[in-house]
Structure 1
Amino acid sequence: MLYFARWKTILIWLAVLAGILFALPNVLTESQRASLPGFLPDRPMTLGLDLQGGSYVLLEVDRASLVNDRLQSLRDDVQVSLRGANVGFNSVTEQNGGVQFTLRDPTQGDAARTALQGLTSPISTSLLAGGSVTETELAEIQPNTYRLTLTDAGINYRLSTAVSQSIEVVRRRVDELGTTEPVIQRQGLDRIMVQVPGLQDPDRLKNLLNQTARLTFRLVDVNNSAQAVAAGQQPAPAGSELLQTTDNPPAPILVQRQVMIAGDNLTDAQAGFDQQTNQPVVNIRFNSVGAQRFGQVTRDNVNRPFAIVLDDKVLSAPNIREPILGGQAQISGNFTVQTANDLAVLLRAGALPATLDIIEERTVGPGLGADSIAAGQNAGIIGGVFVIAFMLIAYGFLGIIANIALIVNVILLVAVLSVLGSTLTLPGIAGIVLTMGMAVDSNVLIYERILEERRQGRSVVQSIDAGFHKALGTIMDANITTLIAAAVLFFLGSGPVRGFAVTLALGIFTTIFTALTLTRWMVAFWVRRRRPKEVPRGYNFIPHGTKIRFMAIRKWAFATTLSLSILAIASVFVGGLNFGIDFTGGTVLELRAKGEAADVGKIRDDLSPIVEGDIQVQEFGSPRDVLIRFAVQPQDATTPQASVNAVRGALAQDYDFQRVEVVGPTVSGELAWAAIFGVGAAMLAIAVYVWLRFEWHFAIGALLATAHDVAMAMGFLVVSQLEFNLSTIAALLTIVGYSLNDTVVVFDRIRENLRKYKKMPISDIIDLSLNETLSRTMLTAVTLVLALVALYGFGGDVIRVFVAPMLVGVLVGVYSSIFIAAPVLIYFRLRPDSIKGGTADEGAAAPPSGGATAGKV
């Protein structure tokens, strides 16, 4: 175990060197990165929204409007198809989600089916896969009356296609903003995630994304009165519809339904100024087909008003004074320079194929992002100092080696995150600090095993070799359980939770490398050079050879545990958790007063006429900072973001909006179920692993201990009334991983001793194993607590909600490993002969009757 071939040594240090090179750009300024030689990596980690500010928006295709548009198109297609086949029919109408018509001649039924065959034939959904879907179905619902209905598969196909097309349109619109590294991804069947770090004007982003930008040119109906139709004195004539202008106040105008020219025929759109009025306008240019059509329409309708319609709003309706034959036109209206620029952006990017609704929004101001970076850096540095100092005190020279491995571990983790282009969020920083605390666990396992082997009489070299060898299986078991929790977090989480999961998972791999390879190489190098006569020791916090009779009080511990668990679970239903908007839906705003202090009472009075229901307004951090929270508003169902826009209008003059989070009821319900499923799936997946790796008795003990730890953490959240959100779920899953990590270490020693002492009573074996691993358990818990205390004290208000339940989880995790997981093996009558993988060491000496120490091997 302590011999390394030269090629292995070279590979180890090449990996360390590569890590340093790839991590280096993260500590350099932008100008320094630009001056690096071309062969050196210059890509740092991407900072998330919570660290550099920006906007996160989740868009959803409006299914109802998409179906409505498709039905209108289908109605037109039916009319054209039947007329082309000379099939006589009465009016084609849309009824109950379908298109219905009646034939004049009952004998033309077969001819109608043949004419509509193109609409009911399967359409290809994938050129490569060769899939197809039937979009519409034709049925004769009554004699001589037919109905075309959209199928669910057809609607889903149209939704999927609309999302694919919308992603490209959204990307073009976002690129026009000049932002760097926007993230635009599909989520599920009908959603698009847009993340724009560093964006200074999130409102402009929402305005650009919230418009379909369907531009049409239509003639104004001059034969009927728009005012009469608006007043209800007469219905809108067939072939016309009533729209509103963008004036303030808007005016009704009657336009023909027939689209003369569509925005699809545009090739360019640029903001400019009218040469006569000097007002902002948008100059547009058509392609050859559009120019020809535009010239023909204007030539045939001189002196007639021509409406320019954008998303069913009339921008302007000027009179056609003369034919416009050059393929260029001008859109005028009540534009400012900004709105003219935005309209030009929308027209250049193209129209969305369907309406997109904003169902979730998270916006962080750049000032708040800078504060988060500072808080995260301080927490990371202080946490690192705590852990390094503790390892030096606990293990002396071996602690120095562990600290070198720990520093390299963090460098490698940052390097891998940089290479993968991962986005670093505030929970991601917490993942790095947590990795530092948990990485020490591997070194503690190795060092404690080395010291134990030395106490049993082995030589220094033999002790070191055996320590690494025997700790290998335990380290792998402990880290795999945490990896399972991280995997569940990644696949079921979203946003920052995923960032934490990625950091935690990558930290496990770098930890295994540094502990089992780099640390071993450094120890082997030290042994060969120094030829030590004794294993270095530090301060002995936990004396070896303890004889604590843990199982003697197991009944009392079980009774206490059961009582506290029942109380914790009952408190969730009685006292209730303080659910965040991730699970309830609603809006959270973080404001900073432009003056010296925020006026909480005035804010509440200003918002009372705007927001329905309870409004929570409280100071957050400094007297200038205010946190506002309110539930989902009824007006948001018809006009997304209406309540947030109203609040902005009321408070923007006196306050800067530092953070905005809006979660719709649909998203919140999905997140709640995903959270419940995530915690359950993580516990079951880890239990299955423990079952396969050990025995079913161990799996039950692990499940009960983990359930206890989660219950205790939930009870703490009820008592403290800390906000229960997605970050809290990440904390609970981390507790699951840590609790199983600690439990597996104990189980591994119990399994080893069961094979070694086949005649010893199971309770004595458990006591022996717990005493042998007590030093490791306490030292690991202390290092992790030190890291978490640094996060809690210096990581900022947002991260405290994440760290507080984890601190509780670490403490109860130590308790549950000793007094829940281990005693379960007694109650389920575990026997030594049921243990897999090995036989008793016949030469093993029986331990004293107290079960205090292991026999020599």
Structure 2
Amino acid sequence: MRTSRWLTTLYFVILLLGVLVALPNLLTEKQLEYLPSFMRQTKVVLGLDLRGGSSLVLEVDAKSLKRDQLRTALDNVRGKLREKQIQSTSVRIIGDSIVAVIPDAGQRQTALTTLKELATPISSGAFRASSSDIDVSEQNDAIRVTLTEAGIKYRVNNAVDQSLEIIRRRVDQVGVAEPSIQKVGLDRIEVQLPGLQDPKQLRDLLGTTAKMTFHLVPTNVDMNNPPVGVSILPGYTDENQRFPIYDQVSLDGSVLTDASAGFDPQIPGKSLISFKLNTIGAKAFAEITRQNIGKPFAIVLDNKVLTAPTIQGVIPGGSGQITGNFTPKEASTLAALLRAGALPAPLTVIEERTVGPDLGADAIKMGLYTGIAGFFLVALFIFLLYGLWGIIADIALALHTVLTFAALSLIGATLTLPGIAGIILGIGIAVDANILINERIREESEKGMGAMAALDRGFKHAFSTIIDANVTAAIATILLLWFGTGQIRGFAVTMLLGIVISLFTDVTIVRIIMSWVVREWKITNLHIHSFFKFIPQHTNFHFMNARFIGIGVSIFLSIASVVLFFKPGLNFGIDFMGGSQMAITTKAPADLATLRSTLGQLGLGEIALQNVSNQNTVLIRVQQQDGGEAQQTAAIEKLKTAVKTIYPDVTFDQIEVVGPKVSGELATAGFTAVVLAAIAMMFYIWWRFEWFFAIGAIVTIVLDTTKMVGFFALFQLDFNLTAIAALLTIVGYSVNDKVVVYDRMRENMRLYKKMALRQLVDMSINQVLIRCIFTSTTTVLAMLPMAIWGGSAVHNFAIPMVVGVVIATSSSIFIAAPILLFLGNWWHHHHEGRDLIEDKPQRSQVKAN
């Protein structure tokens, strides 16, 4: 119980620095001005769900990039064969390769050597497995040039890196404050723009390649049967308008140096775009206009004709204008695209989320209120449980919360509403350590030990249980961090920080304070008094008498849950089903029948309407559209237009679009995370205890999980990523609770080797019953305010957590313990004379709770 002075000083410095780092989060913008500049930077960044804005996840179109690379490779192959005067009967793209048929064997060998010169070595990071970007091989009388998988991945990775900078320049043109633009995985980019409420403008800005080219326009062309070398392209603003253009690019858009939106001085109110070319471009532009006076000249953006004016004369200065049926906003967006430059490959919007500022403000308010309420309820409960010693635990909880915010600030994490839920749940779990410690100290004191000895043994015996419980919770949290995305990762980060920090504040700091109080106050005997004196501290229930009833009821509920899983089934959210979801608020009570009738005529498939919170707020869900991600976002625009025709003053609080590719990935990742969590925890318990403990835990996890799935199906709660987070957390908590029971059973098995196993199991459960109830109560109290008032964003997490804690606690007593009893009896029957717990040297030193 003694801590050296230098170590105590170090702990004090850590706490002081934590308070200073977290302090800016409690101050207003005006108050922050009085702080040093370096302290202003430590304020936690709020996520879009707390401050409003738009978020897009873009994916590089690998197929398009591969197609372009094949065309480039085809031109290179033809060029090399011409250069070496090698005769070929055909050179064309077949599948993923370029095949050059060369009948002459000698020329074929020369071609093989020549074409291998086209290969570019790849020596960057993860792509070192392949030596080049193309593979050249001989097959019969042909040479096959194939793009390697490593080469394609390398180019996709480069395209993402180049796109990051171009997107950053485009966003800067819009002038959004504090944008977040980052690479996600190998081929994706996530863009978060706080305050931007027009996702269409964001899609147009980021999802457009902006590849501009200049082409001459042929005359007298049959639009239905154009000649070779001529393509028919649609207009940019009117796709029904069609233009014939020569495929050959007269001038590339890379020579563009500036573009700006303005108005035509000759036609008031008509928007146009002015552009300037660099020196090389200006010279080429002047030559083109000199040679083609009186001919149309098309300006093409992403295979759509912006304009095709007739060249009236030579344009020597490298300046020009693009006219069309643009609105001022469209002209401004186009100018921004042209200024920022073209993307190296098309980007597809695969996920879109928008949160209105009002909804964000409400989320902050409810997150703050429910967080404070949860903390207050837990702190009050601990004080009523342990009096003065409860106040010490409450101080540790406050420090725990402060250090969590400090850690979030230091790592630059973004705080979301699920993140707030993670902090609150972390508080509830952190209290478990204090309950285990205080209950164990109380036990040791009742045995007649002195104050310091009781503290010493209480902390020592509780510590292994605390470690086991935290490790099992951390396993689930790490898997959430690994497989989760977006806000779920935010929840996982805050939970993981909470678990780690709790070992410092709720064990180390509490130990130092308690030992200091005992020394300073010269306490000889510890008496931990509770205001709940009516609760018996020692019970003698015969739980195993009801083991068949407990297991029978559990199996019945699990079977019923499986039935509910198939009918009515889970109410899968758009995270897993794909599609679109929109939350709207109207000034007057919304007429669902009128909305349903109007939206049903849009041809978007099944549309579900649901009132949320009140009659003015409606949640609109649209099924996944055929044709991919682009159709999902187009469906949202149709919905918004139709809703505005009924309610012109409508507010769009929240918009979410999840493409089929993303939804499939999320469903796979969620299922994998739950399964891996159960397996990892089983192996951990097997390692820390014995095989029969692990079997008992895994069977209980399966039964607990099926019941939770049945709960989701029965009450038709949204089963989405938040639900997966709740399931994983409940799995972790369930194992956490069983570790407390198992630890005591293991200890008693070593102390009372001659006691009947049934009697020993009952005794162990009675010894830890009160602390199991107390720890579960603190977690419920922490989550209850959020479950009641937290809002739709966290209901799917908080409500199941409250129910899950009750299920997990009861299953520890009525399922895990009887299973252990059955396995123990079977072991004794088949291995007469051998102990259920083998005294293995490496395990015999582990003290139980």
TM-score surpassing 0.5?
yes
Separation of aligned partners in 1, 2:307 and 2:598: 36
Name the TM-score, length of structure 2 as normaliser: 0.93
Q: Secondary structure at the match of 2:37?
A: coil
User: Structure 1 residues 169-178 or 431-440, which shifts more?
Assistant: 169-178
Cα displacement (A) at 1:767: 1.6
Q: Secondary structure at the match of 2:39?
A: coil
1:557-636, aligned counterparts within 5 Å?
557-593=550-586, 595-634=587-626, 636=628
Tell me the amino acid that sits aligned with residue 329 of structure 1: G
| Number of the residue aligned with 2:831 | none
Cα displacement (A) at 1:628: 0.6
User: Given the superposition, is the C-alpha separation of residues 142 and 242 from structure 1 closer, same or farther in structure 2, using an over 3 Å criterion?
Assistant: farther
User: Given the superposition, is the C-alpha separation of residues 329 and 98 from structure 1 closer, same or farther in structure 2, using an over 3 Å criterion?
Assistant: same
Separation of aligned partners in 1, 2:665 and 2:843: 50
Q: Secondary structure at the match of 1:189?
A: coil
> For 2:796, which of 789, 794, 801 is the aligned residue?
801
> For 1:472, which of 463, 469, 489 is the aligned residue?
463
The reply to whether residue 188 of structure 1 matches residue 212 of structure 2 is no
| Number of the residue aligned with 1:788 | 783
Separation of aligned partners in 2, 1:677 and 1:74: 40
User: Given the superposition, is the C-alpha separation of residues 573 and 644 from structure 1 closer, same or farther in structure 2, using an over 3 Å criterion?
Assistant: same
CA distances 1:44-69 after superposition (whole Å, capped 9, x unpaired): 11111111112221222223322332
Separation of aligned partners in 2, 1:614 and 1:541: 57
> For 1:556, which of 513, 524, 549 is the aligned residue?
549
| Number of the residue aligned with 1:332 | 323
User: Given the superposition, is the C-alpha separation of residues 288 and 89 from structure 1 closer, same or farther in structure 2, using an over 3 Å criterion?
Assistant: farther
User: Structure 1 residues 209-218 or 646-655, which shifts more?
Assistant: 646-655
Separation of aligned partners in 2, 1:519 and 1:531: 18
- Once superposed, what is the RMSD of the aligned Cα atoms? 2.5
The reply to whether residue 204 of structure 1 matches residue 204 of structure 2 is no
Cα displacement (A) at 1:322: 2.5
Q: Contact 1:485–1:682 at 8 Å: present in 2 too? A: yes
User: Given the superposition, is the C-alpha separation of residues 729 and 839 from structure 1 closer, same or farther in structure 2, using an over 3 Å criterion?
Assistant: closer
Separation of aligned partners in 2, 1:546 and 1:111: 91
1:225-374, aligned counterparts within 5 Å?
225=221, 228-229=222-223, 232=224, 235-248=225-238, 250-277=240-267, 279-374=270-365
- Report sequence identity in percent: 44
Separation of aligned partners in 2, 1:148 and 1:194: 37
Cα displacement (A) at 1:39: 5.1
User: Structure 1 residues 310-319 or 573-582, which shifts more?
Assistant: 573-582
Q: Contact 1:618–1:627 at 8 Å: present in 2 too? A: yes
Tell me the amino acid that sits aligned with residue 11 of structure 1: L
User: Given the superposition, is the C-alpha separation of residues 461 and 64 from structure 1 closer, same or farther in structure 2, using an over 3 Å criterion?
Assistant: closer
Q: Contact 1:757–1:840 at 8 Å: present in 2 too? A: no
Q: Contact 2:112–2:137 at 8 Å: present in 1 too? A: no
Separation of aligned partners in 2, 1:137 and 1:39: 53
| Number of the residue aligned with 1:159 | 156
The reply to whether residue 834 of structure 1 matches residue 838 of structure 2 is yes
Cα displacement (A) at 1:477: 1.1
Tell me the amino acid that sits aligned with residue 600 of structure 2: S
1:162-181, aligned counterparts within 5 Å?
162-181=159-178
Separation of aligned partners in 1, 2:242 and 2:106: 46
Separation of aligned partners in 1, 2:432 and 2:518: 22
Q: Contact 1:611–1:643 at 8 Å: present in 2 too? A: no
Tell me the amino acid that sits aligned with residue 834 of structure 1: E
User: Structure 1 residues 196-205 or 582-591, which shifts more?
Assistant: 196-205
Cα displacement (A) at 1:577: 0.9
Q: Contact 1:394–1:541 at 8 Å: present in 2 too? A: no
Q: Secondary structure at the match of 1:464?
A: helix
User: Given the superposition, is the C-alpha separation of residues 628 and 669 from structure 1 closer, same or farther in structure 2, using an over 3 Å criterion?
Assistant: same
The reply to whether residue 735 of structure 1 matches residue 734 of structure 2 is no
Cα displacement (A) at 1:122: 4.5
Name the TM-score, length of structure 1 as normaliser: 0.92
Cα displacement (A) at 1:94: 3.8
| Number of the residue aligned with 1:535 | 527
Q: Contact 1:53–1:367 at 8 Å: present in 2 too? A: yes
| Number of the residue aligned with 1:847 | none
User: Given the superposition, is the C-alpha separation of residues 501 and 6 from structure 1 closer, same or farther in structure 2, using an over 3 Å criterion?
Assistant: same
User: Structure 1 residues 747-756 or 823-832, which shifts more?
Assistant: 823-832
CA distances 1:602-650 after superposition (whole Å, capped 9, x unpaired): 2112211213332111211121111111211125566452211111222
| Number of the residue aligned with 1:768 | 763
Tell me the amino acid that sits aligned with residue 679 of structure 1: V
Q: Secondary structure at the match of 2:213?
A: strand
Separation of aligned partners in 1, 2:629 and 2:422: 37
User: Structure 1 residues 441-450 or 795-804, which shifts more?
Assistant: 795-804
Q: Contact 1:575–1:718 at 8 Å: present in 2 too? A: yes
Separation of aligned partners in 1, 2:287 and 2:130: 40
Q: Contact 2:89–2:102 at 8 Å: present in 1 too? A: yes
Tell me the amino acid that sits aligned with residue 537 of structure 2: H
User: Given the superposition, is the C-alpha separation of residues 133 and 258 from structure 1 closer, same or farther in structure 2, using an over 3 Å criterion?
Assistant: farther
User: Structure 1 residues 7-16 or 147-156, which shifts more?
Assistant: 147-156
| Number of the residue aligned with 1:676 | 671
| Number of the residue aligned with 2:62 | 63
| Number of the residue aligned with 2:29 | 30
Separation of aligned partners in 1, 2:10 and 2:191: 41
Separation of aligned partners in 2, 1:640 and 1:236: 33
Cα displacement (A) at 1:838: 8.0
Separation of aligned partners in 2, 1:438 and 1:550: 26
| Number of the residue aligned with 2:644 | 652
> For 1:422, which of 399, 408, 413 is the aligned residue?
413
User: Given the superposition, is the C-alpha separation of residues 774 and 127 from structure 1 closer, same or farther in structure 2, using an over 3 Å criterion?
Assistant: closer
Cα displacement (A) at 1:308: 0.6
Q: Contact 1:755–1:839 at 8 Å: present in 2 too? A: no
Q: Contact 1:683–1:703 at 8 Å: present in 2 too? A: yes
Tell me the amino acid that sits aligned with residue 819 of structure 2: V
1:26-175, aligned counterparts within 5 Å?
26-38=25-37, 40-89=39-88, 92-101=91-100, 108-119=107-118, 121-126=119-124, 132-138=130-136, 143=141, 147-175=144-172
Q: Contact 1:611–1:633 at 8 Å: present in 2 too? A: no
Tell me the amino acid that sits aligned with residue 752 of structure 2: Y
User: Given the superposition, is the C-alpha separation of residues 327 and 763 from structure 1 closer, same or farther in structure 2, using an over 3 Å criterion?
Assistant: same
CA distances 1:414-453 after superposition (whole Å, capped 9, x unpaired): 1111111111111111111111211111111111011101
> For 1:643, which of 635, 646, 653 is the aligned residue?
635
Q: Contact 2:50–2:417 at 8 Å: present in 1 too? A: yes
The reply to whether residue 392 of structure 1 matches residue 383 of structure 2 is yes
CA distances 1:158-191 after superposition (whole Å, capped 9, x unpaired): 3333222222222222232222333323333332
User: Structure 1 residues 303-312 or 550-559, which shifts more?
Assistant: 550-559
| Number of the residue aligned with 1:686 | 681
Tell me the amino acid that sits aligned with residue 734 of structure 1: T
Separation of aligned partners in 2, 1:155 and 1:17: 51
